[in-house]
Amino acid sequence: MSRLLNDAVGELAKLPSVGRRTALRLALHLLHREPEEVSALADALTRFRNEVRFCSRCNNLSDGEVCPICSDPRRDRTTVCVVEHVGDVLSIENTNQYNGLYHVLGGVISPMQGIGPSDLKIDLLVENIARGEIREVILAIGATVEGETTLFYIMRRLAQFPDLKITKIARGIGVGDEIEYANELTIAHALHNRTEVKN
Amino acid sequence: MSRLLNDAVGELAKLPSVGRRTALRLALHLLHREPEEVSALADALTRFRNEVRFCSRCNNLSDGEVCPICSDPRRDRTTVCVVEHVGDVLSIENTNQYNGLYHVLGGVISPMQGIGPSDLKIDLLVENIARGEIREVILAIGATVEGETTLFYIMRRLAQFPDLKITKIARGIGVGDEIEYANELTIAHALHNRTEVKN
């Protein structure tokens, strides 16, 4: 096997859920593309990794000191949505249902993986709230054991702000899901938080 | 969304069977890798695209003028296995069942896609055979309509060599496959080319 091909396949196979077969298919596909296109891919990846920064206010990915959302004057600055990852911001933005600010924790508390509260951007969240502009914090954290632990920890840290409204996103049956495939805890939550249907 | 992230996702999403969701996941994964590792990936891709060559004898991928298989003195130079793509060489090599040379056509004849015989490395194959060392040509081409057309065309071109043995790989039920899921043509081929079982 060509050493150049082998190197390309080896590097591609380090990507998540890309095995050697897929890596080979991707590498051979690149042969059919113009060299300039392959350079554009390579440049975009290295520039992204080397130049992207984290917003000093919300820890979201940013090209500059403060991210486009935090610096947008049309966003509601009294509401902050706390999420685990950068990808969650994009998922929520895609709904077009939210106009407040975000706060990216950078993960969840996980003793198993050695991630404690100090590894997450919780102090920065408390500092932002202490400045007084924020009225509501929406905790949009995954419904996992680690997520619930993190949620509980953040609630305790925010207990020092008695006028702050703290909410968490609804747990329930996902849209498009069958009840028979949902687990008992999800069904219990969905029942407990049932909403009235007008007729 | 960060422009740098957007560029990286856009470029990754141009890869085959990588949608924007997967591209985003891959890009965010790169954030957790060292900058040097991302550079290594980018370099491997650009070097592969810019420096890889095609073997002047068999059209396989090569780092130099002639590929490692064609220049290996332990390979049987009297047998040539004709395949469509570079990836097919790797698939056959992985079986460890073949010790001859290869010939990579670079595709199959496909009037629908505007690929004619002159777009494939068929003249080079004929030239190699005309030198007289080759005794058998194994046609290892896909069992598609285009593949059969290509096979038929090559057989006609090779009719000028009366002493040359020409074979094609067996059509039949794939190992691990159920007969009930095979199509009629496959079953017909498998029946016709049945092999005797000794007891």
Residue A67 lies in a domain: no
B161 burial level (CB within 10 Å; 0-12, 13-18, 19+): middle
Contacts of A183 (CB under 8 A, 6+ apart): none
User: pLDDT for B1-31, tens place per residue?
Assistant: 789 999 999 999 999 999 998 999 999 999 8
Q: How far from the centroid of its chain's Cα atoms is residue A123's Cα? A: 18
Residues B104 and B190 both lie in one domain:
yes
Residue B33 lies in a domain: yes
Residue A150 lies in a domain: yes
- Closest CB to A48 among B27, B40, B61: B27
What is the pLDDT averaged over residues A133-154?
A: 92
Residues B80 and B45 both lie in one domain:
no
DSSP code per residue over A29-67 = HHHTS-HHHHHHHHHHHHHHHHH-EE-TTT--EESSSS-
> Angle formed by the axes of helices B35-51 and A3-12, to 10°?
140
What Å distances lie between residue B153 and A25, A54, A58, B150, B169, CA to CA?
A: 28, 60, 65, 5, 16
Q: Give the closest-approach CA distance of B159 to chain A in angstroms.
A: 32
Q: Determine the residue of chain B that is closest to A51 in CA distance.
A: B4
Could you give the percent of chain B with pLDDT greater than 70? 99
Residues A84 and A38 both lie in one domain:
no
Residues B76 and B145 both lie in one domain:
yes
Residues B183 and B89 both lie in one domain:
yes
What is the pLDDT averaged over residues B159-175?
A: 89
Residues B89 and B157 both lie in one domain:
yes
Q: Please give the angle made by the CA atoms of B17, B23 and B27, to the nearest 5 degrees.
A: 145
User: pLDDT for A89-109, tens place per residue?
Assistant: 988 998 889 999 999 999 999
Residues A97 and A13 both lie in one domain:
no
Mean pLDDT of chain B: 92
| Residue B59 predicted with pLDDT over 90 | yes
Instruction: Provide the CATH number for the domain around residue B19.
Output: 1.10.8.420
Confidence of residue B170 (pLDDT cuts 50, 70, 90): confident
Q: What is the ipTM of this complex?
A: 0.78
CA distance A41 to B38: 12
Phi, psi values for residue A17, rounded to 5°? 55, 30
Which of helix, strand or coil describes residue B135? coil
Q: Give the closest-approach CA distance of B182 to chain A in angstroms.
A: 24
Q: Which amino acid is at B148?
A: E
- Given a contact cutoff of 8 angstroms between Cβ atoms, the answer to whether B11 and A40 are in contact is yes
Q: What pLDDT, on the 0 to 100 scale, is given for residue B192?
A: 81
Residue A136 lies in a domain: yes
Confidence of residue A195 (pLDDT cuts 50, 70, 90): confident
Instruction: Provide the CATH number for the domain around residue A192.
Output: 3.40.1360.10
Q: What pLDDT, on the 0 to 100 scale, is given for residue B199?
A: 61
Q: Do B35 and A15 touch (CB under 8 A)?
A: no
Residue A168 lies in a domain: yes
What is the pLDDT averaged over residues B128-143?
A: 93
Residues B45 and B79 both lie in one domain:
no
Q: Which amino acid is at A7?
A: D
Confidence of residue B110 (pLDDT cuts 50, 70, 90): very high
Confidence of residue A194 (pLDDT cuts 50, 70, 90): confident
Residues A12 and A110 both lie in one domain:
no
Q: Do A30 and B42 touch (CB under 8 A)?
A: no
Per the structure, how many domains does chain A have? Answer: 2
Q: Give the closest-approach CA distance of B45 to chain A in angstroms.
A: 5
What is the pLDDT averaged over residues B148-177?
A: 91
**How does DSSP classify residue A170?**
P
CA distance B156 to B152: 6
Q: Give the closest-approach CA distance of A45 to chain B in angstroms.
A: 5
Residues A103 and A181 both lie in one domain:
yes
Q: What pLDDT, on the 0 to 100 scale, is given for residue A4?
A: 93
Residues B47 and B88 both lie in one domain:
no
- Closest CB to A63 among B3, B25, B85: B3
- Closest CB to A15 among B4, B24, B29: B29
| Residue A133 predicted with pLDDT over 90 | yes
Q: What pLDDT, on the 0 to 100 scale, is given for residue A60?
A: 95
Residues A45 and A77 both lie in one domain:
no
- Closest CB to A24 among B15, B52, B90: B90
Q: Work out the end-to-end distance of chain B between its first and last CA atoms, rounded to an integer number of angstroms.
A: 69
Which has more confidence, B180 or B48? B48
CA distance B195 to A159: 79
Q: Do B46 and A42 touch (CB under 8 A)?
A: yes
What is the pLDDT averaged over residues A129-155?
A: 93
Q: Do A2 and B50 touch (CB under 8 A)?
A: no
Q: What pLDDT, on the 0 to 100 scale, is given for residue B50?
A: 95
Residue A57 lies in a domain: no
A88 backbone φψ class: left, alpha, beta (φ>0; ψ -120 to 50): alpha
Query: What domain range is A143 assigned to?
Result: 72-196
What is the pLDDT averaged over residues A145-167?
A: 93
Q: Is the dihedral of CA B160, B163, B164, B166 positive or negative?
A: positive
Q: What pLDDT, on the 0 to 100 scale, is given for residue A58?
A: 96
- Closest CB to B11 among A5, A41, A52: A41
User: pLDDT for A4-52, tens place per residue?
Assistant: 999 999 999 999 999 998 999 999 999 889 999 999 999 999 999 999 9
What is the pLDDT averaged over residues B142-152?
A: 91
- Given a contact cutoff of 8 angstroms between Cβ atoms, the answer to whether B103 and B80 are in contact is yes
Residue B182 lies in a domain: yes
What is the pLDDT averaged over residues B64-86?
A: 95
Q: Do B2 and A61 touch (CB under 8 A)?
A: yes
Residue A87 lies in a domain: yes
CA distance A68 to A49: 19
What Å distances lie between residue B112 and B84, B108, B146, CA to CA?
A: 17, 11, 10
- Write down the residue that tokens 């969840």 correspond to: A108
Q: Give the closest-approach CA distance of B168 to chain A in angstroms.
A: 24
Q: What are the structure tokens assigned to B112, written together? A: 């629908």
User: Mutating which of B22, B48, B52, B83 best tests the A interface, going by the most A Cβ atoms within 10 A?
Assistant: B48
